Amino acid sequence: MPGMPDPIQKSGVMRRMEEFSGVPNHARSKRLQEAIDSLKADPNGATLEAVAKAGNFYDASHNSDHFRKHWLGEGSGADPFWPGIQEKVKKTLSSGMLKAAELFQSTCKPCQFLWVMSGDEGTTDWWMSITEGSNVIVVIFHTPRVPCDLALEDSKTVWVVDGAGGSYTARPVKVPVNSEASWPAKTP
């Protein structure tokens, strides 16, 4: 199965987390505090899906099947993107999301989330970086590339310059079809 063709993505759940953190009052919300408490109580990542659902990042219109099956490698039909390192993935996600949530709570700065596939498929390099900038917190998931057999289309929100074909101009990254369907249309 071919892998994702571009090294950077932004998923729907990342967009929903950005929208949540874009409301300064949410930094002091019960919803955020409950997520922090849950992540602190479970550093092994066993409750990551439940935390995301309780935070309303997954709901009836945005189910968590993909997160559970591919990112966490759990449940019926599990097909992890990173087989063999699922415990590392869960612990990294739990600790990284805890740090991002605590920074948001203490600074009220909105978060931006990016998924950067910086390793070859099948490697075990999986980490997160969280950076507090002057006006924003940047959260990056650094992972090996993942398999993808879905139809792809141009992203509306993410571009890359890679010199493909000798052209050094920005082009939209390829994302799974309809993965940005609920996002507001933007013009480059």
Residue 187: predicted pLDDT: 37
Digitized pLDDT (tens) for each residue of the chain, 188 residues in all: 467 888 899 888 999 999 999 999 999 999 999 999 999 999 999 999 999 999 889 887 788 998 999 999 998 899 999 999 999 999 999 999 999 999 999 999 999 999 999 888 889 999 999 999 999 999 999 999 988 888 999 999 899 998 878 889 999 999 888 887 665 444 33
Q: What is the pTM of this model?
A: 0.88
66: closest CA among 5, 8, 128, 14? 14
What does the block give as tokens for 178?
Answer: 């309809």
Query: What is the residue whose two structure tokens read 């997520």?
Result: 35
* HSE-CB of 41 using CA atoms within 13 angstroms: 10
Cβ atoms of residues 67 and 58 within 8 Å: yes
